[in-house]
């Protein structure tokens, strides 16, 4: 009844969409948003690389209690992981925020304190 009246008002130019078609479209949209959420929640390749780099840096710092120069640390991490660290300062700042035992003793020199 309502659809009939709407068609009359519309002049019958455009058909009103079928309710089943609308429901199918809504389901497709809902599925695509769920898939996007799942993709966001899973680790990307860059996140996995960064995690490997951080783990390698922590291992190296733990194995050298006297401390390590930034340049040497970068070379070792890049050698172990096989990925370049593009910005060592940012990398170490993030690492120091995540691991409180890592300390910047002086310019370009980092140490791991397990205390």
List of residues 6+ apart from 112 with CB closer than 8 A? 58, 61, 62, 64, 65, 99, 101, 102, 103
What is residue 114's predicted lDDT score, i.e. its pLDDT?
A: 75
How confident is the model over 41-90, as pLDDT tens digits? 666 777 888 889 999 999 999 999 999 999 999 999 999 999 899 999 99
The mean pLDDT value for 104-114 works out to: 92
What is residue 37's predicted lDDT score, i.e. its pLDDT?
A: 64
Residue 3 CA: distances (Å) to CA of 26, 74, 109:
20, 69, 75
The mean pLDDT value for 23-49 works out to: 70
The residue with greater pLDDT, 55 or 32, is 55
Residue 70 CA: distances (Å) to CA of 19, 60, 110, 114:
64, 11, 7, 19
pTM of the model: 0.61
Look up the CATH architecture of domain 45-112.
Answer: Orthogonal Bundle (1.10)
What is residue 115's predicted lDDT score, i.e. its pLDDT?
A: 64
């Amino acid at each position: 009844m309502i659809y009939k009246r709407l068609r009359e008002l519309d002049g019958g130019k455009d058909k009103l969409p079928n309710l089943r078609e609308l429901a199918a479209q809504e389901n497709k949209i809902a599925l695509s948003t769920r898939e996007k959420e799942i993709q966001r929640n899973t680790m990307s390749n860059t996140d996995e690389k960064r995690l490997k780099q951080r783990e390698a840096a922590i291992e190296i710092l733990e194995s050298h209690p006297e401390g390590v120069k930034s340049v040497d640390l970068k070379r070792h991490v890049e050698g172990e992981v096989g990925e370049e660290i593009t910005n060592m300062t940012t990398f170490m700042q993030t690492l120091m925020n995540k691991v409180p035992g890592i300390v910047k003793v002086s310019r370009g020199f980092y140490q791991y304190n397990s205390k």
